[in-house]
Structure 1
């Protein structure tokens, strides 16, 4: 999977953090002028880009159930699919995989919300599970009193390390689809987090989900 960003002669690449302070590390190769073009894959003039589509639940959960990931938080230059939008005209989208970390959105009580499944629905069919539950994404902990990331069992991981107290854990790698899921112009896909509420929790919007997409424009 090619996720490099070609920066052609005369172009500038700007990088900024989302909202917090900290450091950014960039790993790059240098090429002779002309060896890298803006029309190369992922370039500013390319017909094909591979990117992470970060998504959030748009409507604040008030009870247990399926809650739709229908709000894209990726910059507006990128398509919003599958976050409540269809594939744009003259575009084809391949979903290469999904990354995410199961979580407990918890408060003292214990009160709160916890993920159990991630459900992909296309044409009223729940993909990957004939029982219609979805893909395991379980972080339930009825004793939790603070927000936390981690998994009892999940087929979807973030592929990144997480600091838990004094230990660093890696909850697992992203779930990659082989072959990729292909969506033509006008296609729709709905993705839900199945969430269980304990008591009356307060939603902190700590969901951490990103779809790994390749968008090809014709």
Structure 2
């Protein structure tokens, strides 16, 4: 029996580079599919055709230096198009939208990381996204020194340096601490299945589903 959701459900995965967001997006999408929950899997930047072009500009090392404000505005443009073309229509159709990154990445990377005024970035971001906020943000927390810093091939943002990524991490944790009811903060280096169970439990609660046979929340192993 297909689950119907009045107004849809918006779930976002956030965290530093190398935190395992893509893996957990796939885990949640698979679980939703098994239960016939209508859903859309997407990402930022690059969840639309126009957004993919912006993603290339933003992440390709060949782009070189971008002024922090120009970088932030490109990310906001990607989000504006993505919300209008993908996210809002899916929510309006009663679907679960599972998104790899959203506005918190902008506030953490371009706000905290690039040392722009976070309140100013937030104001423009809210305007660009019609003030659309996730119902749940899953923050996968990891020390950049054991994640992005160890990657052999890095994109333009990944190569920004460990101090930059430490500021990004602190930015993410600060956002979660300011609004704990809308966040699920999990240690990204715990086992994949344990993390997936925590996410499923929280999403099932939001959907009003029982967690038969898939485990609930528990302390890390």
With the length of structure 2 as denominator, give the TM-score of the two structures: 0.27
With the length of structure 1 as denominator, give the TM-score of the two structures: 0.27
Structure with bigger strand share is: 1
Structure with bigger helix share is: 2
Q: Larger radius of gyration, structure 1 or 2? A: 1
